[in-house]
Amino acid sequence: MSSPATGSGALGQPGTRPGRSRLTSGGLAVLRGSVRISLIQLAVHDDEPLSERVRRVGDLVRAQRGADLVVLPELWPHGAFAYQRWATEAETLDDPTVHAMSAAARDLGGWLHTGSLIERASDLQLYNCSVLLDPHGDIAATYRKIHRFGFTEGEAKLISAGEEPVTYPAPFGTLGFAICYDLRFPELFRLLVDRGAEILVIPAGWPARRVAHWRLLLQARAVECQAYVLGCATAGEHCEVRMSGHSMVVDPWGEIVAEAGEDEEVLTVEIDPARVAEVRRDFPVLRDRRLGLPAPAPRG
């Protein structure tokens, strides 16, 4: 079972680790036993320059040394509602923000999910893109947000839609990727489960006025998918929009393992990835599916 949070605060420091073994595969550790996750609930404000925020976030990531996976929120470099800045601040994945996060991942010695940033693709289209960095600082996976928020304005008007659900077999379990508004579309999460997802990583820039939806949907996705859910939100206020906070880790039974408050903090928890297989074995609801794609094959 998962343990309560082991640390919080703007510079949450790693605590004492329970024992677990490390094997190696391709130069990267393969973990057995508990896994330490740190969600950095970053405050985003209008008056902080991009370069200073990137530097501050790099320091926050390094401060989590000892974590196996660190997660950042959606669009923390620019602001999830700072639409007017996106075109000028958009970067390729070979530009300063990803380079800075790559260096932070190397110093961390763990996996870093960079939340998301506005990516300028080679065809000059803009995407809301997540990047997963391995402990060497190399890009392991990317995901372009499929469902764009705003209906006829904002993200829906300015950003191109991603097309491909993405999972990645990390050493501690298969990660499934989604971003913010994706959370409202359960069919995406079924696809991720069918592709082996055990830990769903959901960075968000969720507004405070809909925080009840955020909390409810995180638990719903965990229950439906019988998977861990890591919801990492922003705090603070920008463009006159107050952000939700309330980053959360939910276990495969839908229980809240740990939850942040409304302000900037680091939420650190220990999870046991074996809990996913345990819940799916003891309450095998996924094998009774009748519609859509076939249920995932049992794992050894």
Nearest Cα residue to 178 out of 162, 158, 154: 162
Q: Could you tell me which of 121, 27, 37, 47 has the C-alpha nearest to residue 72?
A: 37
Which tokens go with 58? Answer: 């790099």
Catalytic one of 91, 119, 129, 145? 145
User: Which helix (H) or strand (E) segment is 167 a member of?
Assistant: strand 167-170
Asked about 74 being catalytic, the answer comes back as yes
Yes or no: say if 48 and 91 are a contact pair by the CB < 8 Å rule. Answer: no
* Among the listed residues 229, 215, 258, the one whose alpha carbon sits nearest the alpha carbon of residue 8: 258
Backbone angles phi, psi at 230, to 5 degrees: -115, 105
User: Which are the contacts of 298, defined by CB distance < 8 A and separation ≥ 6?
Assistant: none
> Which stretches of 189-264 are assigned E, i.e. beta strand?
199-204, 228-233, 237-238, 241-242, 248-250, 256-259
- Beta strand pairing status for 237-238 and 21-25? unpaired
Catalytic residue among 91, 129, 180, 232: 180
* Cα–Cα distance for residue pair 128/116, rounded to 1 Å: 6
> What is the C-alpha separation between 269 and 219, in angstroms, rounded?
17
Active site residue 145: yes
Question: CA 58, 63, 67, 71 torsion: positive or negative?
Answer: negative
Instruction: Name the 3-class secondary structure at 257.
Output: strand
> 256: helix, coil or strand?
strand
Provide the annotated active-site residues.
74, 145, 180
